[in-house]
Structures are given as C-alpha cells and as structure tokens.
C-alpha cells in the first residue's frame, strides 16, 4: 500500500445503473475489501420491477435509490451525490445522458463503460443489446468494451482502457453480449481502482 493512503479517508464511490446490475455488483464486491475506496451510493432511473440492480445491491447491504430523468436534469441527483459526499461516479449500464453541470462537478472523476470498441458502435441509441445486434449485423470479427471518461455527449469522452475479444460467424447477439460482459466484469472495477489510486498518489496531502 502506498504510504500516501494511510492518512486518507476512503474515497466514496457512487454507481448509476439502469439494468440488471451485474457490473454494479462486481464493483461493489471489489471495493468491499479495498482500503482505498468504497461504494456508498447507488442510483437507478428505472423502477425496482424493471431493473435487477435493486435486488443485487440489497443482497450486498446497499439500498438503490430510485431517480428520475428530471431529477438528473434539474440538479437534484447532483445534490444527492454531494450530500453523500461522493468523490467518484461510475456509470454501469446507465442509459441517461449526464447533464453538463454534473459532468463539470465530477471532471476526471466520472467513468463509463461501453459494450463495444469505441469509436465503433457508439453514440445515441447505441446501448445494451442494440450494440451487440449492430456488431453482429456488421459482420465484425472482433468486439470488446471501452472504459472512458464521461463528458456531455454520448460515448465521446477520452478513452481510458479497452479490451477486445474475437468473434466467430456462429456468435449471435446473445453470445456477443456474454463475451463482452465477461470483459467488463474482468476489467471495469480494476480500472476504476487503478484510476482512484493514481489520483490519490498524485494528490498532495494536507498535513495541517
């Protein structure tokens, strides 16, 4: 453990999700044993009957907050994150565009994962199975996932990390989705962890 970490409180992570919550679960589990950071808040823009993330987080001892698009756009969600003293925001299958004010507040501290090798198969409307069907229709021989910084446009933030997998003609969209999900689960939490540790290493400590 880097000596700089000893005098610091754990960094506080929020996760925003819209679906089943498999990535959210992986991230929560990863940081549950971390000395550097912890997940303290999870929000979802769909109802409990529409999104599995609620049950996944509940099983891990963390309630998921229900949020609406207008709360995101009018600044209420940002205030929720401030109240929870959140340092980092991790998007895990979150389908709404983040407003500019929130992006600015978490500049270089908000991260997203996209289920393709950006800039391919990105942009508005390209999410979830839509991406995998497009990859299949294009006859791509490989696909993967991209971890990137969030800006005010869909999937246009600077790329942090990519991992790829090969595809065969027999792979349908469901099989492609499974391959990509395995990459996300393998690398997303680890990459977020590395980003936080790097930021802490570079941040001067206040010894007052």
Residue 25 counted as domain residue? yes
Instruction: State the total domains in the chain.
Output: 1
Residue 62 counted as domain residue? yes
Residue 208 counted as domain residue? no
CA distance 117 to 81: 30
Q: What is the rounded average pLDDT for all residues in the chain?
A: 93
**pLDDT reported for residue 153:** 84
Residue 167 counted as domain residue? yes
The sign of the dihedral angle between the CA atoms of 129, 135, 139, 143 is negative
114 is catalytic: yes
Residue 1 counted as domain residue? no
Question: pTM score, two decimals?
Answer: 0.91
Residue 4 counted as domain residue? no
Q: Please classify residue 97 by burial: count the beta carbons closer than 10 Å to its beta carbon, then call 0-12 exposed, 13-18 middle and 19+ buried.
A: middle
Range of the domain at 121: 11-202
CATH number at residue 54: 3.40.50.170
Q: CB of 27 within 8 A of CB of 21?
A: no
**pLDDT reported for residue 80:** 97
Question: pLDDT by residue (tens digit) across 124-175?
Answer: 889 999 999 999 999 999 999 999 999 988 888 999 999 999 999 999 999 9
Catalytic residue among 2, 105, 114, 207: 114
The sign of the dihedral angle between the CA atoms of 15, 149, 154, 190 is negative
45 phi/psi in degrees, rounded to 5: -90, 5
Residue 96 counted as domain residue? yes
């Amino acid at each position: 453990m880097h000596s700089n970490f000893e005098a610091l409180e754990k960094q506080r992570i929020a996760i925003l999700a819209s679906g089943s919550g498999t990535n959210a679960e992986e991230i929560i589990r990863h940081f549950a044993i971390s000395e550097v950071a912890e997940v303290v808040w999870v929000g979802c823009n769909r109802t409990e009957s529409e999104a599995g993330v609620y049950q996944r987080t509940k099983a891990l001892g963390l309630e998921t907050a229900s949020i609406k698009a207008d709360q995101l756009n009018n600044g209420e969600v940002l205030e929720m994150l401030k109240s929870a003293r959140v340092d980092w925001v991790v998007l895990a299958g979150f389908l709404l565009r983040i407003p500019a004010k929130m992006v600015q507040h978490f500049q270089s501290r908000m991260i997203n994962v996209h289920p393709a090798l950006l800039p391919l198969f990105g942009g508005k409307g390209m999410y979830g199975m839509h991406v995998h069907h497009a990859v299949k229709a294009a006859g791509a021989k490989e696909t993967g996932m991209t971890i990137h910084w969030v800006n005010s446009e869909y999937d246009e933030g600077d790329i942090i990390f990519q991992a790829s997998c090969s595809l065969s003609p027999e792979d349908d969209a469901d099989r492609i989705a499974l391959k990509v999900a395995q990459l996300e689960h393998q690398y997303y939490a680890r990459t977020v962890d590395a980003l936080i540790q790097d930021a802490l290493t570079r941040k001067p400590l206040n010894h007052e």
